[in-house]
Amino acid sequence: MISGDVQGVFFRISTQDKARELELTGWVKNIFNNAVEILAEGDREKLSLFTGWLQLGPPNATIDKISIEWEESSVKEFSSFEINR
Protein backbone atom coordinates (compact mmCIF):
# COMPACT_ATOMS: atom_id res chain seq x y z
CA MET A 1 0.00 0.00 0.00
CA ILE A 2 1.43 3.36 -1.01
CA SER A 3 -0.02 6.77 -0.27
CA GLY A 4 0.93 10.26 -1.32
CA ASP A 5 0.78 11.97 -4.69
CA VAL A 6 0.64 8.68 -6.56
CA GLN A 7 -2.47 9.00 -8.71
CA GLY A 8 -2.51 10.84 -12.02
CA VAL A 9 1.30 10.93 -12.27
CA PHE A 10 1.81 7.76 -14.31
CA PHE A 11 2.48 5.83 -11.11
CA ARG A 12 0.62 2.67 -12.11
CA ILE A 13 2.16 2.44 -15.60
CA SER A 14 5.63 3.15 -14.19
CA THR A 15 5.08 0.49 -11.54
CA GLN A 16 3.97 -1.99 -14.20
CA ASP A 17 7.02 -1.18 -16.34
CA LYS A 18 9.40 -1.66 -13.38
CA ALA A 19 7.74 -4.92 -12.32
CA ARG A 20 7.95 -6.30 -15.85
CA GLU A 21 11.60 -5.20 -16.10
CA LEU A 22 12.27 -7.23 -12.94
CA GLU A 23 10.20 -10.16 -14.26
CA LEU A 24 7.64 -9.89 -11.44
CA THR A 25 3.98 -10.78 -11.73
CA GLY A 26 0.90 -9.39 -9.97
CA TRP A 27 -1.04 -6.13 -10.19
CA VAL A 28 -1.30 -2.46 -9.23
CA LYS A 29 -4.49 -0.44 -8.72
CA ASN A 30 -5.79 2.84 -7.31
CA ILE A 31 -7.80 2.14 -4.17
CA PHE A 32 -8.92 5.53 -2.86
CA ASN A 33 -7.80 9.15 -2.94
CA ASN A 34 -4.03 9.33 -2.95
CA ALA A 35 -3.38 5.61 -2.45
CA VAL A 36 -2.31 2.67 -4.59
CA GLU A 37 -2.28 -1.03 -3.75
CA ILE A 38 0.26 -3.42 -5.27
CA LEU A 39 0.53 -7.19 -5.13
CA ALA A 40 3.74 -8.58 -6.60
CA GLU A 41 5.25 -12.05 -6.71
CA GLY A 42 8.59 -13.32 -7.86
CA ASP A 43 12.17 -13.84 -6.80
CA ARG A 44 12.84 -12.34 -3.34
CA GLU A 45 15.91 -10.43 -4.53
CA LYS A 46 13.95 -8.85 -7.39
CA LEU A 47 11.07 -8.08 -5.02
CA SER A 48 13.56 -6.29 -2.75
CA LEU A 49 14.75 -4.19 -5.69
CA PHE A 50 11.13 -3.44 -6.55
CA THR A 51 10.24 -2.31 -3.03
CA GLY A 52 13.34 -0.11 -3.00
CA TRP A 53 12.18 1.52 -6.24
CA LEU A 54 8.66 1.95 -4.83
CA GLN A 55 9.98 3.94 -1.87
CA LEU A 56 11.09 6.64 -4.32
CA GLY A 57 8.50 6.11 -7.02
CA PRO A 58 8.66 7.46 -10.56
CA PRO A 59 9.36 11.13 -11.36
CA ASN A 60 6.53 13.48 -10.26
CA ALA A 61 5.26 11.04 -7.60
CA THR A 62 5.52 11.92 -3.92
CA ILE A 63 5.52 8.96 -1.54
CA ASP A 64 4.17 9.87 1.92
CA LYS A 65 3.76 6.37 3.32
CA ILE A 66 4.53 2.83 2.20
CA SER A 67 3.39 -0.34 3.92
CA ILE A 68 4.99 -3.62 2.83
CA GLU A 69 3.92 -7.10 3.87
CA TRP A 70 5.98 -10.17 2.88
CA GLU A 71 4.47 -13.62 2.52
CA GLU A 72 6.07 -16.88 1.43
CA SER A 73 4.26 -18.76 -1.32
CA SER A 74 5.10 -21.79 -3.39
CA VAL A 75 2.20 -21.12 -5.75
CA LYS A 76 2.65 -18.75 -8.67
CA GLU A 77 -0.76 -17.10 -8.89
CA PHE A 78 -0.16 -14.62 -11.75
CA SER A 79 1.32 -14.91 -15.24
CA SER A 80 1.99 -11.19 -15.83
CA PHE A 81 1.94 -7.81 -14.07
CA GLU A 82 -1.21 -5.84 -14.84
CA ILE A 83 -2.96 -2.58 -14.02
CA ASN A 84 -6.31 -3.27 -12.37
CA ARG A 85 -9.10 -0.73 -12.60
Backbone angles phi, psi at 2, to 5 degrees: -130, 130
Is 19 within 8 Å of 50 (Cβ atoms)? yes
Strand partners for 39: 27
Residues serving a catalytic function are: 12, 30
| Inter-CA distances, 31 with 2, 69, 83, Å | 10, 17, 12
Contact 2, 15 (CB under 8 A): no
